[in-house]
């Protein structure tokens, strides 16, 4: 079986490794970038959580967490998984109710270590934040942090050891079709005959799908990050801390990373907005008073693209109307944490192996069927 994976970010790398491990030997990963990490994977901060609001997302996280825990043995790479916890804060009863509803789903899926926390417990878990107005929150100690580039490089190296070929600097510009199948993947310099094609094009996945005449509802969404300089006001073991309006912060390599999902412009623009930096810095100083003496590193700010699907859940499976184009798209900002699971699941589909999870909730046809997942923020 000749398989071409389009995109060598963390999703394509995981798909390639798992395909190779399941015995696919004629396997090529094609990527427009000059080398690994130039897409969204290189922009990610490396949060990992299983605290989601739908069963399928909790299940993906639990499968991924299991694989992250075993990654050193499986592929000889350290994914940097550090269970520092995710702490969600509620400023009112409505936010608390939202967290409770999500936790009921989490407990039903076996994530019983996720708990409700009182303002006093919040003070113990993160003494640095201003607790004025907080009524409670949610905490899961096994959520935490991972290293996106270590995971990417680990899967790429493992796939290469199993014989996968990589073509960097090779933008896919054409997908030849015969009937409901793709027959070849074309770049400016190559024409690769294919029995199966995997779309792992991240935020650009809709453009890739369009080359085969497939309409894929994945859109880019800019996300910006403002770091402080290296600091000691917040300890390295601080949990990811998330306010009800989406402002959140964590510590990575001694710098505090400040994030706030503002309404972003449409398109592929990844410039950092100075007005956004002013706003997020003001939020941080008001809510995390110990940061008042810590310089903000405006020059170190960066932005990247989420790959949004209409219901904020991944799209996984053969494309409607194009039977040998497999979609692993639309992770909606959770692609690094879910890559270990999604790569395995798509490889199982392609190789006809028994699925590790029931992923029917992620089927590409769900939007046309009016069966999208609930798209809660959590």
Ligand X SMILES: Cc1cc2nc3c(=O)[nH]c(=O)nc-3n(C[C@H](O)[C@H](O)[C@H](O)COP(=O)(O)OP(=O)(O)OC[C@H]3O[C@@H](n4cnc5c(N)ncnc54)[C@H](O)[C@@H]3O)c2cc1C
Report the interface residues with ligand X, using CB under 6 A: 6-12, 30-33, 38-41, 43-47, 171-172, 200-204, 208, 223, 225, 304-307, 331, 333-337
Beta-carbon contacts of 323 under 8 Å, excluding residues fewer than 6 positions away, are 180, 181
Residue nearer to ligand X on the CB measure, 129 or 208: 208
Q: How far is the CB of 123 from ligand X (least distance, A)?
A: 25
Q: Cβ-count burial of 83 within 10 angstroms (0-12 exposed, 13-18 middle, 19+ buried)?
A: middle
The separation between the first and the last C-alpha atoms of the chain, rounded to the nearest angstrom, is 39
8 or 136: whose CB is closer to ligand X? 8
For residue 302, the minimal CB distance to ligand X (Å) is 7
The residue (of 168 and 367) whose beta carbon lies closer to ligand X is 168
Return the beta strands (E) in the chain as ranges: 2-6, 26-31, 47-48, 86-90, 115-117, 136-140, 144-145, 165-168, 174-178, 181-186, 191-193, 196-199, 219-230, 240-242, 248-252, 255-259, 302-308, 315-319, 322-329
Select 263 or 370, whichever has its Cβ closest to ligand X.
263
Cβ nearer to ligand X, comparing 38 with 82: 38
Q: How far is the CB of 45 from ligand X (least distance, A)?
A: 4
To ligand X, the closest distance from the beta carbon of 276 in angstroms equals 12
Which residue, 31 or 96, has its beta carbon nearer to ligand X? Answer: 31
**How many Å apart are CA 358 and CA 345, to the nearest integer?**
9
Structure tokens of 122? 């919040």
CB of 119 to ligand X, least distance (A): 26
* CB of 11 or CB of 27, closer to ligand X: 11
Q: Tokens 């825990």: give the residue.
A: 69
Residue 146 CB, nearest distance to ligand X (Å)? 7
Write out the E strands in 75-218. Answer: 86-90, 115-117, 136-140, 144-145, 165-168, 174-178, 181-186, 191-193, 196-199
Q: Which two tokens stand for residue 301?
A: 């700010």
Task: Report in angstroms how near the CB of residue 60 gets to ligand X at its nearest.
Answer: 11
């Amino acid at each position: 079986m000749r398989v071409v994976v389009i995109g060598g970010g963390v999703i394509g790398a995981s798909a390639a490794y798992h395909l190779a491990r399941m015995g696919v030997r004629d396997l090529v990963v094609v990527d427009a970038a000059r080398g690994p990490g130039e897409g969204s994977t290189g922009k990610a901060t490396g949060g990992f959580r299983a605290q989601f609001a739908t069963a399928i997302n909790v299940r993906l996280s639990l499968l991924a967490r299991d694989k992250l825990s075993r990654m050193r043995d499986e592929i000889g790479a350290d994914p940097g998984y550090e269970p520092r916890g995710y702490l969600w804060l509620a400023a009112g009863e409505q936010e608390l109710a939202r967290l409770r509803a999500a936790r009921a789903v989490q407990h039903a899926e076996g994530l019983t270590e996720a708990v409700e926390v009182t303002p006093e417990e919040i003070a113990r878990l993160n003494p640095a934040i201003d607790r004025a107005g907080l009524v409670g929150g949610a905490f899961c100690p096994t959520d935490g942090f991972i290293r996106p580039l270590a995971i990417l490089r680990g899967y790429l190296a493992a796939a290469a050891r199993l014989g996968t070929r990589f073509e960097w600097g090779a933008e896919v510009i054409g997908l030849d079709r015969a009937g409901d199948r793709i027959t070849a993947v074309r770049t400016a310099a190559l024409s690769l005959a294919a029995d199966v094609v995997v779309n792992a094009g991240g935020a650009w996945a809709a453009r890739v799908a369009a080359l085969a005449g497939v309409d894929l509802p994945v859109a880019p969404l800019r996300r910006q990050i403002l770091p402080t300089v290296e600091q000691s006001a917040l300890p390295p073991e601080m949990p990811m801390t998330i306010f009800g309006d989406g402002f959140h912060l964590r510590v990575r390599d001694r710098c505090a990373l400040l994030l706030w999902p503002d309404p972003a412009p449409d398109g592929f623009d990844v410039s950092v907005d100075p007005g956004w930096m002013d706003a997020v810095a003001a939020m941080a100083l008001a809510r995390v008073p110990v940061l008042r003496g810590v310089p903000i590193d405006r020059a170190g700010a960066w932005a990247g693209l989420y790959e949004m699907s209409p219901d904020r859940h991944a799209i996984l499976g053969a494309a409607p109307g194009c039977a040998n184009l497999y979609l692993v798209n639309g992770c909606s900002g959770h692609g690094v944490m879910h890559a270990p699971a999604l790569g395995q699941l798509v490889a199982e589909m392609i190789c006809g192996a028994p699925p590790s999870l029931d992923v029917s909730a992620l089927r590409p046809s769900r939007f046309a069927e009016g069966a999208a997942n609930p798209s809660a923020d959590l």
